[in-house]
Structure 1
Amino acid sequence: MKQYIQLTNEEIKRSFKLYVIVVLVMAAIELVSVVAQVMYHERKVENFMELNRVSVAEALKQIDTLGYSEASSFFSYMTLIGMAIVVIYAIQIWYRDWLGETKYIYRLLMLPGSRASIFFSKLTTVFLIIVSFIGIQWCVMQLGFYLFDWLIQPEYQNQIDLSPVQNVMSEFYTTNLIDMGIILAISLFIVSFIFLLILIERSFRKGKAVVKIGLEIFIAILIAYITVLFLDETRILLETEELILTIGISLLYFMYIIWKSLRLLQQKVTV
């Protein structure tokens, strides 16, 4: 446990500066996009009024008012970019140890005790980054809403669209603890699967590694397909029973991913 905590702390310190820079840049872009959308909308209304010699109310009938979901539309793209960055980081957190000038992976693999602490320290680091990213993004969205409400003139604002989170974003940034738990569980599952594929690539020669990676992806798709097909075609289970079955299959496969990854790290990956 002590080794796991030390390695997790080390991984966090190695990534902290870059993570802070990325988060600040993304937050700045998102907030600036809200300001830009408000300014663009007001300029659009004013230009329409000047060209057509009409009042604000008449101009807004043609152009429409601006809601926060429209002003924060750029947030969706930044969220997708954030997801892509997390996936890239999940890959980079392993390969930087092999490809770096110091070959840090040699020090890790030669540490006394179980190598499981190496795996779980990296998994914990990525998971903490996912949790913190969601939390920070939520705070930025709330801040963006207050910024929007402060900047825009009342008559220009869509009074119906008062929620800081709308449409697709509401599915991802939910306050429901069960939904949030599902999102984090899926994120952890995906990261674990990426780790497994990386460890397979590091454990075998290129040709054999490609075959085994392809096999693992095929197995994952097959299990998902059979599960969905069974639930759709049979209709013999209640909704609660279907949920329990899905969770059970997911947990079993997740346990397989962890077991296979640890086995590769312990027995196949060598100095």
Structure 2
Amino acid sequence: MNRFAKLVNFELSRFMKIYLVLVAMTVVVQVAGVIVKANKYMSKANTAIYEEMLSRAEFIERYGQMTFMDVTRSLWFMGPIAICTAALIFYVFMIWYRDWFGKNTFIYRLLMLPTARLNVYLSKLIAIFLMVLGLVSVQLIILPLENSVLKWLVPTDFRSDVTVSQIINGNPLSILVPQTFTEFVLYYGAGFMALTIAFTAILFERSFKWKGIIVGIGYVAISVVIFILPALSTLIVGRAYLYPLEIVGLEMVMGIIVTIMSIWVGNYLLNKKITV
């Protein structure tokens, strides 16, 4: 267990500089977005009131009050989230290929460590998963701060306050921040499963080279079909024999099966097909 923890810490430390840059970028750009959007709104209000001679009530009736939702729907807010998402998706592949294509083919040193090769697979998996949770946690921490900045810049008469919960539910953040434990298990369980599928597909390519690309794509397709089989069966039969909750339950079971299968196949490839 101690060796596994060291491997996870090692994987985290290798990406930490870039990870901290992503965190800093998210904070700076989103706070800047709040300031820019708030100042733009107040500039419009000042122009309408002092130059067009509208009253406050007439301006609000015409343009509406500003809410934090106006910020979350802008590129200032969603842009950093999209960049962080793209960076982590890229790192899902880079976390393996960097070890093969580095100066000293570092993967061989990793696989020769006095620990089960499965730990190498799982440490990379857990490292990516922890990074995702970390970025989501940072977003949750800075949301109240950004909301406070908006309240500081826009007077009460010109804004409509919303809670953090309303902010999350009003945009794609609702997927990243589930409101119930069941949603958390479904969303993050599906994400964890997707990681195991991607990792195993990468190991197919590393094991069989060009043929492995075809096998890896085939494995991804088979895994997806197995996962959506309960919902797919309803479409094939043409009738709904199962209740929605039963379908969700079966999807969870299939997800667990696919995840275990992917980890088992990945472990097999590491031990039997990738030689040092």
Question: Same fold per TM (> 0.5)?
Answer: yes
CA contact (8 A) 1:34 1:148 kept: yes
Q: Structure 2 unaligned runs (5+)?
A: none
Q: Distance in 2 between matches of 1:252 and 1:225?
A: 12
Q: Which moved more, 1:17-26 or 1:35-44?
A: 17-26
Match of 2:42 in 1: 42
Residue 192 of structure 1 pairs with residue 196 of structure 2: yes
Aligned to 1:145: 147
Q: Distance in 1 between matches of 2:246 and 2:62?
A: 52
Shift of 1:154: 0.8
Which stretch has the larger CA shift, 119-128 or 48-57?
48-57
User: What residue identity is the alignment partner of 2:33?
Assistant: S
Task: Rate the CA distance shift 1:127–1:225 in 2: closer, same or farther, 3 A.
Answer: closer
Distance 1:217 1:129, change over 3 A: same
> Is the 1:30–1:78 contact (alpha carbons within 8 Å) kept by the matching residues of 2?
yes
Q: Return the letter of the residue paired with 2:97.
A: Y
Displacement of 1:226: 3.6
Structure 2 residue aligned with 1:249: 254
Aligned partner letter, 1:68: F
Which amino acid in 1 is paired with 2:155? Q
Consecutive unaligned residues in structure 1, runs of 5 or more: none
Match of 2:10 in 1: 10
Q: CA-to-partner distance for each residue in 1:63-85, whole Å, 9 max, x for gaps?
A: 22111111222433332322222
Q: 1:210 matched to which residue of 2? A: 213
Distance in 2, matches of 1:18 and 1:104, equals 20
The amino acid of 2:102's aligned partner reads G
Supply the RMSD in Å over aligned alpha carbons. Answer: 1.9
TM-score, structure 1 as length reference: 0.91
* 2:178 aligned residue (174, 177, 196): 174
1:19 aligns with 19
d(CA) in 1 for partners of 2:271, 2:16: 28
Equivalent position to 2:105, from 92, 103, 106 = 103
Question: Per-residue deviation at 1:257?
Answer: 0.7
The match for 2:232 among 211, 229, 232 is: 229
When normalised by structure 2's length, the TM-score is: 0.90
Q: How many residues align?
A: 269
CA pair 113-59 structure 1, distance change in 2 beyond 3 A: closer
CA deviation after TM superposition for structure 1 residue 46, in Å: 1.5
Write the deviation string for residues 86-111 of structure 1: whole angstroms up to 9, x where unpaired. 11111111111112223211211222
Residues 141-179 of structure 1: CA distance to partner in whole angstroms, max 9, x if unpaired?
2221122122211111024x4433223323432342222
Structure 1 225/72 Cα, relative in aligned 2: closer, same or farther at 3 Å?
closer
Alignment partners' CA distance in 1, 2:203 and 2:13: 23
Q: 1:224 to 1:174 in 2, by over 3 A?
A: closer
Q: Deviations over 1:96-136 (max 9, x none)?
A: 11122232112112223421111111111111111111111
Runs in 1 of length 4+ with deviation above 3 angstroms? 161-164, 231-234
Higher relative contact order (CA 8 A, sep 6+): 1
The residue type equivalent to 2:54 in the other structure is V
Q: Would you say the 8 A contact 1:145–1:164 is kept in 2?
A: no
Q: Structure 2: which amino acid aligns with 1:24?
A: A
